[in-house]
């Protein structure tokens, strides 16, 4: 750790991992409820479990991005963070608001929660992924503004690099597009149209800038390749991500009542969306081939390299599989969508957060890397989670194909109902649950590797001050 203020990343990383653990627990509850419909009912209904599962995913990734930013920006700017105290205040504000929101989902009926939090004054609740009470959304805006102010002031008074410029651009975009969560028009078409400005333009737009900048930072630090080479790659990747991602929003406009030209725009540009992810794979392999040093943190390199491959498969290949309008007509909202969503989120965003934690955590504790035995366990956890997620994706893909065959392709009088179709693919859901448990085991192995690292600190080589 070169700058003392980088230490504020620690609570963000720790809290992110706690929420990640909670997300997997609720994912397993959901997986069980797909098979045993009244599992934990009425204490945790399916809709509540799903809401908690998806909200935890978003919130813990945001904590991970914030921790990554607080770690890498001081090093990139070659100066201390503008205000570590503000970073701590925002951490507690965000953490308390997040915990209260999750408890509200679990302990209070959703309609009553809306009443208690004043949703009638500024209605924003009741939409998928944007279920948070209005007061929580206002809190998120306050946290985002304080966070961007803190990071922006640090960049202004320090060195400007392509990495921190791309990162701050992504963070500002994240905050700006979240403002559309407050726009809740009466027209359902308008509602869905702008709802995607939050959901799609986050994960297939500005989040990719954050992903690219963190990835570039890790490879500069671990390979010793010239910054100029890495920055050229970063320019190419983010340019392709924005060109394809912004107009690629159109693949969500196919059947919501938007003009028909979106069928062409959405199909063409979303078909290009795999390219930036493919470029990330080439970038990662190129960096490893050109590296000038052998970094001892093999676990971090494994996560970073694996991130590019899994992101290409999940966001690129599985996204392309059903992004063309004639195909999407049958697959929209089926388990194929779930397959794409699981692998894309895991590959692109979960793995990059795990990669930066893997890289930064030992340095935050005065070591260049964790001990060899801890790294072996961590790399095993990477393989366990990747294989489990791939199997979950394959199984959900098979479930989606069967769903389309039984429910979507036949004429209305011959098609099975939704529930009858779900019953027909129950065996697939059992297998999915098994690999969900295995994925959870992989996460426990990842967390255990840091506990093991603490107990085997004496095996770690001395910290290289150039790292």
Q: How many CA atoms lie within 13 A of 262 on its CB side?
A: 16
Query: Residue 303 burial by CB count (10 A; 0-12/13-18/19+): exposed, middle or buried?
Result: buried
Note the pLDDT of residue 464. Answer: 59
Note the pLDDT of residue 85. Answer: 98
Q: Report whether 169 contacts 209 (CB < 8 A).
A: yes
Q: Report whether 359 contacts 222 (CB < 8 A).
A: yes
**Residue ranges for the chain with pLDDT beneath 70:** 461-462, 464-467
Q: How many CA atoms lie within 13 A of 450 on its CB side?
A: 19
Note the pLDDT of residue 346. Answer: 98
What single DSSP character describes residue 393? H
Residue 17's nearest CA partner among 273, 332, 381, 392 is 381
Note the pLDDT of residue 293. Answer: 87
Note the pLDDT of residue 458. Answer: 86
Note the pLDDT of residue 466. Answer: 52
Note the pLDDT of residue 364. Answer: 96
What single DSSP character describes residue 346? I
Note the pLDDT of residue 430. Answer: 98
């Amino acid at each position: 750790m070169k700058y003392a203020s980088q230490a504020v990343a620690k609570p963000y990383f720790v809290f992110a991992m706690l929420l990640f653990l909670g997300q997997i627990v609720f994912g397993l509850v959901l997986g069980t409820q797909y098979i045993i419909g009244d599992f934990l009912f009425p204490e945790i209904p399916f809709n509540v479990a799903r809401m908690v599962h998806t909200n935890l995913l978003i919130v813990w990734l945001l904590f991970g991005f914030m921790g990554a930013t607080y770690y890498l920006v001081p090093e990139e700017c070659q100066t201390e963070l503008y205000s570590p105290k503000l970073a701590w205040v925002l951490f507690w504000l965000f953490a308390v608001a997040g915990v209260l929101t999750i408890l509200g989902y679990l302990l209070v009926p959703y309609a009553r929660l809306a009443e208690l939090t004043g949703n009638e004054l500024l209605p924003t609740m009741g939409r998928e992924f944007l279920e948070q009470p209005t007061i929580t959304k206002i809190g998120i805006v306050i946290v985002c503004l304080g966070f961007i102010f803190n990071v922006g002031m640090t960049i202004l008074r320090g060195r400007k690099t392509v990495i921190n410029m791309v990162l701050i651009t992504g963070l500002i975009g994240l905050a700006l597009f979240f403002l559309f969560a407050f726009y809740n028009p009466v027209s359902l078409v308008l509602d869905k149209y702008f709802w995607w400005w939050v959901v799609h333009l986050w994960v297939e737009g500005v989040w990719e800038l954050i992903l690219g900048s963190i990835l570039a930072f890790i490879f500069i630090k671990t390979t010793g390749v010239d910054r100029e080479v890495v920055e050229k790659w970063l320019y190419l990747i983010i340019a392709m991500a924005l060109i394809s991602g912004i107009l690629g929003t159109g693949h969500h406009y196919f059947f919501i009542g938007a003009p028909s030209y979106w069928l062409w725009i959405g199909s063409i540009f979303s078909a290009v969306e795999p390219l930036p992810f493919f470029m990330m794979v080439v970038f990662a392999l190129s960096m490893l081939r050109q590296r000038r040093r052998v970094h001892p943190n093999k676990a971090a390199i494994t996560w970073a390299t694996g991130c590019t491959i899994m992101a290409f498969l999940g966001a690129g290949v599985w996204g392309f599989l059903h992004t063309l309008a004639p195909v999407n007509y049958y697959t929209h909202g089926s388990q194929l969508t779930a397959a794409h969503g699981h692998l894309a989120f895991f590959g692109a965003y979960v793995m990059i957060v795990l990669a930066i934690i893997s890289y930064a955590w030992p340095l935050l504790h005065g070591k260049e890397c964790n001990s060899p035995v801890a790294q072996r366990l961590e790399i095993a956890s990477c393989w366990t989670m990747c294989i489990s997620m791939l199997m979950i994706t394959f199984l959900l893909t098979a479930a989606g194909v069967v769903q389309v065959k039984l429910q979507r392709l036949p004429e209305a009088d011959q098609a099975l109902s939704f529930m009858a179709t779900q019953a027909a693919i129950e065996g697939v859901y059992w297998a999915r649950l098994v690999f969900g448990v295995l994925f959870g085991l992989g996460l426990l192995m990842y967390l255990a590797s840091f506990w093991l690292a603490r107990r085997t600190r004496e095996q770690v080589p001395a910290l290289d001050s150039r790292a």
